[in-house]
Amino acid sequence: MVRKNQLPKFPDDYINDKAEEYDSSKWMERNQKRSTLSSIQYLIEDKLNEDWVSGIIVGDSPLILDLGCGTGFSSVILMENGFRVIGIDILNDMLSKAREKKRNFKDYKDLELVLADINYLPIKVNSVDHIISISSYNFITHGLQNYGEKVKLLNDTAKYLNKILKNKGRVVIEFYPKDNQELKIFNKSFINNGFEGFMVKNKPNQKSGQTFLLMKKC
């Protein structure tokens, strides 16, 4: 079971009985929901507004893509805050737990769950209002050791995220870069592919640990 201050191993810590442990962990649930609420606040960050003064109007049911939704902790919080949600995850063991939550949620029609790879999304161009990802975006480069391969994959993924977003769409990525180099290539993948924005950290000088990328489509 992944615990506080322990780096998870992908996919080992999210499959078979580990998926059940993850979903039943109260600490994990609190952590994921807290990070999701923070990300919702960042979606309406004033520094990203420009002429879009009021930002997101919760209650208008914007469509949001929840990348790496896991067992659905983040998706439930998004629905409770007025979003229609498409939850994406590559691991069926995790997604099955999210399906259970969907069946128990009164507005289950507001949640669509899709088994898919974040790097190859089955989502139409210009169809999503916003994108969020909680603690999973790190894993999209899983298995790649070559720096150039990582950069290419991150750029290709960010480029497609830009395409599926509607005008003025926003992206909030909450992730855990292992070092300054990884932080830079993740950030540049968005900046170099039609986004603008900035990073938020709990500790200004931190190079690893929890980081939020706040981006909007240019």
pLDDT reported for residue 216 = 93
Domain map (residue ranges) of the chain: 55-217
Yes or no: say if 94 and 87 are a contact pair by the CB < 8 Å rule: no
Can you give the pLDDT at residue 45? Answer: 73
Which CATH topology does 55-217 take?
Rossmann fold (3.40.50)
Regions of the chain with pLDDT less than 70? 1-7, 46, 48-60, 204-208
φ and ψ of 130, to 5 deg: -150, 165
pTM flag (> 0.85):
yes
For the chain, give the number of residues.
218
Helix (H), strand (E) at residue 199 = strand 195-201
